[in-house]
Chains A and B, each alone.
Chain A
Amino acid sequence: MTSPGTNLPAAIVCAISFVVGLLTVAVFRYVSDQNAIRTAKDRLKAHLLALRLFQDQIPVVLRSYVRILLATGHYLRLALKPLLVVVVPLTFLIAEVDRFFGVMPVQAGHAFLVKAHADNRETLNKLNLQLPDGLVSTAPAVHVPSHREVVWRLVGEHAGDYSVQIKSSDEPGLNKSVVIGTGLSRLSPVRLKGQLWKRIFLSAEPPVPESCAIQSVEVLYPSREINFAGLTWNWIWLFLVVSLAAGFLFKSLLGIEI
């Protein structure tokens, strides 16, 4: 059994999924060509029925199979336009929700890793980590020259929002946020240089300055698992199932053809 507190993420994800289900179906209704979709689906069903009705006639079966492929393509093409309309806002929504539910803060007293990725091997030896009060290093830094990486093992003593600083001997320090605790927080697992698309989806911090010799700094937060209906879910699967269910419900209630 999970306590009410641990079910809060499930409740929030379900609520978001439900609303998304309703909104996307509604958008689908107004953006798509409902008559064309209805016709395309009907044609598809007709060709499926033809397989059964004329099953003794192999040429008819073959023709029907080809028509099913074509009809499926046509149907998907009709679904593409509304898909294009919802895909951009939905992608950003998913990226934002992922910051809350994709990973969870590190619990106090639990070890975690911070990884810095340098521009070149030479920089590796110049990097050092400066920790605020409340965070302690539990092992010497590990250098992985083949990956141009330095890895530190840290432990948070108390819950709270922290900022670690990675300094290169000849450059100003680079800050990276670290969250210690148990609740829901907007987390940024990585801080990146350049890589706009990756930054949009994975990072919630300003980019690493171009002049900096560090490519990225990453905090390896544990993945969040959500308990719902007796199962353990990654939030995206729960979102998929609940939004599909909500979509199906609203599509039927509102008479929308998908």
Chain B
Amino acid sequence: MKPRVMERGKRSRHVLAYALVLTALLLFPLPGHAYAGPGAGFAVLSSFWSLFVAFLYSAYAFLVWPFRQVFRFFRRRKAYGKASVQRAIILGFDGMDPELTERFMASGKLPNLAKLREKGTFRKLRTTYPPISPVAWSTFMTGVNPGKHNIYDFLARDLRNYMPFLSSAEIKGPKRSLKIGKYKIPLGGARIKGMRRGIPFWHRLGDAGIFCSVIRVPVTFPPEKFPGVLLSGMCVPDLKGSQGTFCLCTTRGDVDKFREGGVRVAVERSGNLCRSYVPGPDDPLTAGSSRELRLEFEFRLDPSKHQASFSVDSQKFKLKVSEYSPWIPVKFRAGLGFSAHGICRFYLKSISPEVEVYVTPVNIDPANPDLPVSHPVTYAIYLAKLFGPYATLGLAEDTWALNEEVLDDDAFLAQCYANHEDRERMLFDALEKTRRGLCVCVFDTTDRVQHMFWRYLENDHPAARGIPVSERPTVIEDLYQRVDTLIGRVTEQIDDKTLLMIVSDHGFKSFARGVNLNAWLHQNGYIALREGSAESGDWFENVDWSRTRAYTMGLNGLYLNLKGREREGTVQPGAEAEALKKELQQKLAGLVDPPSGQVGITRVFDCDAVYAGPYVSNAPDLIVGYGEGFRASWDSVMGKVTSHVFEDNVKAWSGDHCIDPQHVPGVLFCNCKIAEDKPAIVDVAPTMLKLFGLELPGYLDGRPWNVAGSSE
């Protein structure tokens, strides 16, 4: 109490001082007081300017309001006229697992979710083939199977060279540029092409006059135009155009790339003064050769205080060891006035014996976005101005840095929960702004934390061997409790007429053993290596395509090397291909991991049987359903052929869901009763359309649920 009283006293004295000086000024009004320098001048001018602009907007809003209301009345009659809800909130928790949820509810740790289950609905939510976030969330928003929305994995393969590319969006340089000597001056902005097809249900709601706020739903980059606001989620790139490249500035000698997701950069040390740089995007002005832009920075060590003083792009800040900076706006200058704007956080990892600074991937600056990360573009800016800078990168939680042991558990969790808190603020703002209509917000923390900390849930996970059970943190339990608290806060804010739905795209299971399917294909004669090679490096480096019949890359897809489709295809389409698919299905289903006798692959799905739609030709030929505890090995995902099929997964990334979909359903909670025994994620879109009274388009694959009145 005492400090608060002192604080109040201090504040009162300040107020009194201000009042006295103001009174003095008012009592002696002389011309000199009218202007007190440019500081006050700007303050007064900009205040008046803000009020003036606000007044103009308000006047405009009030003047056009009656006309808009008349216009919308006729449109809304269609929507709200038949709507059974006025407001719907969907909270997405990526990877929230029904079994864990039940377990924690049973032990009384999730009271708010338990309340929802009692008053409304709790079900397992059937997921997609394969149960991967971009696939499942695309199905969630479009209400169709992947054959109609074209997303089958994070990665797709280039048929010309068997190399991977991001399946959700393609970013190319400007269409035209002006070549002057060694410079190439871009004429126009970057071209971004979304690869996801299908129409998200909020587009239809928006067209019908129902306002929608959509926050961080995966695969919403590039943001599409619709009558509402949207902040893009998973698949937004960093400033380099990658899905997240962290940087470790270090005085250690081995300055090279990490296997995944990061780069090492040398720190030049002179006494206590250190210099290094943050790698940025490619220089847009260099023709032909790609030159990386860099942001140089320096920091001075203070070993006695275990801290360092940083100077980054005219900004100065101090960090103690194991401390993060706030988001620092950075500018990569290319010359001729071209620059790229980003934000990143610095983390002082150690100052002795080696100096190491971790820098997050450079996110697109939401306050000054070089690529659109929201619709309208001003929505991202609005959020940045309201709450300060926030992560825009699709996979904002740096799982790679923890996997590579650049970050420790605590540093990773601090990063996750900082992003989570930002998301919570955005959600509550969206709830306040969406008193009528739809609000959708997806939280990724549930997915990232379970991926990285599943090892502590099991007694014998290879990634946690040597750590006594008593010393293992209860990270995942804490995570679920945090989610429950958030849901409690949301339920406090909603009324009886609001429908609240909580969904996850998939569940979670252990990833203790990796399966190198390429190794199996090699050992069984489906992949051939070049003469003299016993293994292959990344992306099929030593594969002899002229003798290869099937291959795998990415998480669940298995591809035939089909003649006329792949550049060096060997398998004839038709009967031969069908026979090969059947053969592979038979051989792989039930594949046993010899040491344990566990089944590594439970089922293999023929994509022609599980998908239907115009984009099936882009799908893999088979989807591999791994058994519980298994997943495609790290090497297999990257198109590497090793000598062993099964291996321990000793990385922190120890839980996963890219397995047989039957093992990893998501969750569905609702504050209303839903009369559906086996709901699926594909049903959410038609259910929402029906709830708001819209006609269901014939092409939808999902079926709307019967949602009874509110729980009250």
Q: Which A residues have a C-beta under 8 Å from some C-beta of B?
A: 20-21, 24-25, 27-28, 32, 39, 41-61, 64-65, 68-69, 71-72, 75-76, 79-80, 82-84, 86-87, 90-91, 94-95, 98, 197-198, 201, 236, 239-240, 243-244, 246-248, 251, 255, 258
Give Cα distance in the complex from A235 to B11, angstroms.
39
Stretch with Cβ within 8 A of A (4 or more), from B37-45, B154-162, B254-262, B356-364: B37-45
Q: Which chain B residues lie closer than 8 Å to A239 at the CB level?
A: 35
Q: Which chain B residues lie closer than 8 Å to A28 at the CB level?
A: 37, 39
Contact B36 A53 (CB under 8 A): no
Contact B314 A91 (CB under 8 A): no
CB nearest neighbor in A for B41 = A244
Contact A98 B32 (CB under 8 A): yes
CB B60 to nearest CB in A, in angstroms, measures 8
Q: Which chain A residues lie closer than 8 Å to B44 at the CB level?
A: 76, 79
CB A255 to nearest CB in B, in angstroms, measures 6
Contact A246 B38 (CB under 8 A): yes
Q: CB < 8 Å: which of B41, B211, B381, B386 contacts A240?
A: B41
Against A, the Cβ 8 Å flags (1 = close, 0 = not) of B1-42 are 000000000000000001001000100101111011111111
CB nearest neighbor in A for B31 = A236
Contact B61 A79 (CB under 8 A): no
Give Cα distance in the complex from A82 to B36, angstroms.
10
Q: Which chain B residues lie closer than 8 Å to A251 at the CB level?
A: 38, 42
The answer to whether A61 and B61 touch (CB under 8 A), given A45-B385, A75-B47, A86-B39, is: yes
B201 CB within 8 Å of chain A: no
Contact B38 A243 (CB under 8 A): yes
Q: Which chain B residues lie closer than 8 Å to A42 at the CB level?
A: 384-386, 388
The answer to whether A25 and B385 touch (CB under 8 A), given A54-B433, A197-B30, is: no
Stretch with Cβ within 8 A of A (4 or more), from B49-57, B240-248, B519-527: B49-57
The 3 closest A-B pairs by CB, nearest first: A247-B38, A79-B43, A24-B37
Q: Which chain A residues lie closer than 8 Å to B32 at the CB level?
A: 90-91, 94-95, 98, 201
Contact A248 B72 (CB under 8 A): no
Given contacts A64-B54, A87-B36, 19 further A-B contacts (CB under 8 A): A24-B38, A32-B39, A45-B385, A49-B378, A52-B57, A53-B376, A53-B382, A55-B61, A60-B433, A61-B61, A68-B54, A79-B39, A82-B39, A87-B40, A91-B30, A91-B33, A243-B37, A244-B45, A258-B39
Contact A72 B47 (CB under 8 A): yes
Contact B51 A69 (CB under 8 A): yes
Q: Interface SS of chain B: helix, strand, loop or mixed?
A: helix
CB A45 to nearest CB in B, in angstroms, measures 5
Contact B41 A44 (CB under 8 A): no
A-contacting residues, B61-108, CB 8 Å: 61-62, 65, 68, 72
Give Cα distance in the complex from A201 to B31, angstroms.
9
Q: Which chain A residues lie closer than 8 Å to B37 at the CB level?
A: 20-21, 24, 28, 83, 86-87, 90, 243, 247
Task: Count chain B residues whose beta carbon lies closer than 8 angstroms to a beta carbon of A.
Answer: 50
Contact A65 B54 (CB under 8 A): yes
Interface centre among B37, B65, B386, B388 (most CB of A within 10 A): B37
Q: CB < 8 Å: which of A51, A71, A76, A243 contacts B41?
A: A243
Q: Which chain A residues lie closer than 8 Å to B381 at the CB level?
A: 49
B435 CB within 8 Å of chain A: yes
CB nearest neighbor in A for B56 = A51
Provide 14 A-B residue pairs closer than 8 Å at the C-beta atoms, listed in order of the A residue.
Answer: A50-B382, A51-B61, A53-B229, A79-B39, A83-B36, A83-B43, A86-B40, A236-B31, A236-B35, A239-B35, A243-B38, A243-B41, A248-B42, A258-B42
Interface centre among A49, A51, A197 (most CB of B within 10 A): A49
Contact A91 B36 (CB under 8 A): yes
CB B379 to nearest CB in A, in angstroms, measures 6
Q: Interface SS of chain A: helix, strand, loop or mixed?
A: helix
CB nearest neighbor in B for A242 = B38
Against A, the Cβ 8 Å flags (1 = close, 0 = not) of B428-452 are 0000110110000000000000000
B58 CB within 8 Å of chain A: yes
Q: CB < 8 Å: which of A57, A69, A240 contacts B35?
A: A240
CB A179 to nearest CB in B, in angstroms, measures 22
Q: Which chain A residues lie closer than 8 Å to B432 at the CB level?
A: 60
Give Cα distance in the complex from A20 to B54, angstroms.
32
CB B217 to nearest CB in A, in angstroms, measures 18
CB nearest neighbor in A for B50 = A44
Q: CB < 8 Å: which of B21, B53, B211 contacts A48?
A: B53
Give Cα distance in the complex from A195 to B39, angstroms.
30
Give Cα distance in the complex from A79 to B44, angstroms.
9
A-contacting residues, B162-205, CB 8 Å: none
Q: CB < 8 Å: which of A59, A69, A76, A258 contacts B38?
A: A258
A-contacting residues, B369-425, CB 8 Å: 376, 378-379, 381-386, 388
Q: CB < 8 Å: which of A32, A56, A58, A201 contacts B30?
A: A201
The answer to whether A51 and B58 touch (CB under 8 A), given A56-B72, A59-B435, is: yes
Give Cα distance in the complex from A71 to B46, angstroms.
12
Contact B211 A56 (CB under 8 A): yes
Give Cα distance in the complex from A240 to B18, angstroms.
24
CB A157 to nearest CB in B, in angstroms, measures 33
The answer to whether A53 and B68 touch (CB under 8 A), given A90-B36, A246-B38, is: no
Contact B40 A65 (CB under 8 A): no
CB B684 to nearest CB in A, in angstroms, measures 25
Give Cα distance in the complex from A87 to B383, angstroms.
36
Q: CB < 8 Å: which of B33, B50, B435 contacts A72?
A: B50
Contact B18 A61 (CB under 8 A): no
Contact B68 A48 (CB under 8 A): no
CB nearest neighbor in B for A28 = B39
Q: Which chain A residues lie closer than 8 Å to B388 at the CB level?
A: 39, 42
The answer to whether A76 and B47 touch (CB under 8 A), given A83-B39, A90-B36, is: yes
Contact B18 A80 (CB under 8 A): yes
Give Cα distance in the complex from A41 to B384, angstroms.
12
Give Cα distance in the complex from A45 to B382, angstroms.
8
The answer to whether A61 and B58 touch (CB under 8 A), given A83-B36, A86-B36, A236-B35, is: yes
Contact A57 B211 (CB under 8 A): yes
Contact A68 B51 (CB under 8 A): yes
Interface centre among A21, A56, A86, A251 (most CB of B within 10 A): A56
Against A, the Cβ 8 Å flags (1 = close, 0 = not) of B204-238 are 00000001000000000000000001000000000
Q: Which chain A residues lie closer than 8 Å to B384 at the CB level?
A: 42
Q: Which chain A residues lie closer than 8 Å to B18 at the CB level?
A: 80, 84
Give Cα distance in the complex from A50 to B72, angstroms.
20
Q: Which chain B residues lie closer than 8 Å to A86 at the CB level?
A: 36-37, 39-40
Q: CB < 8 Å: which of B21, B45, B47, B379 contacts A53?
A: B379
CB nearest neighbor in B for A240 = B35
CB nearest neighbor in B for A200 = B30
Contact A58 B378 (CB under 8 A): no
The answer to whether A87 and B47 touch (CB under 8 A), given A42-B386, A55-B57, A65-B58, is: no
Q: CB < 8 Å: which of B28, B38, B53 contacts A244?
A: B38
Q: Which chain B residues lie closer than 8 Å to A49 at the CB level?
A: 378, 381-382, 385
Interface centre among B60, B62, B433, B435 (most CB of A within 10 A): B433
Contact B57 A48 (CB under 8 A): yes
Q: Which chain A residues lie closer than 8 Å to B386 at the CB level?
A: 42-43, 46
Q: Which chain B residues lie closer than 8 Å to A72 at the CB level?
A: 47, 50-51
Contact B42 A53 (CB under 8 A): no
CB nearest neighbor in B for A64 = B54
Give Cα distance in the complex from A255 to B331, angstroms.
14
CB B634 to nearest CB in A, in angstroms, measures 42
CB nearest neighbor in A for B376 = A53
Give Cα distance in the complex from A122 to B432, angstroms.
75
Give Cα distance in the complex from A71 to B385, angstroms.
13
Interface centre among B211, B379, B386 (most CB of A within 10 A): B386
CB A178 to nearest CB in B, in angstroms, measures 23
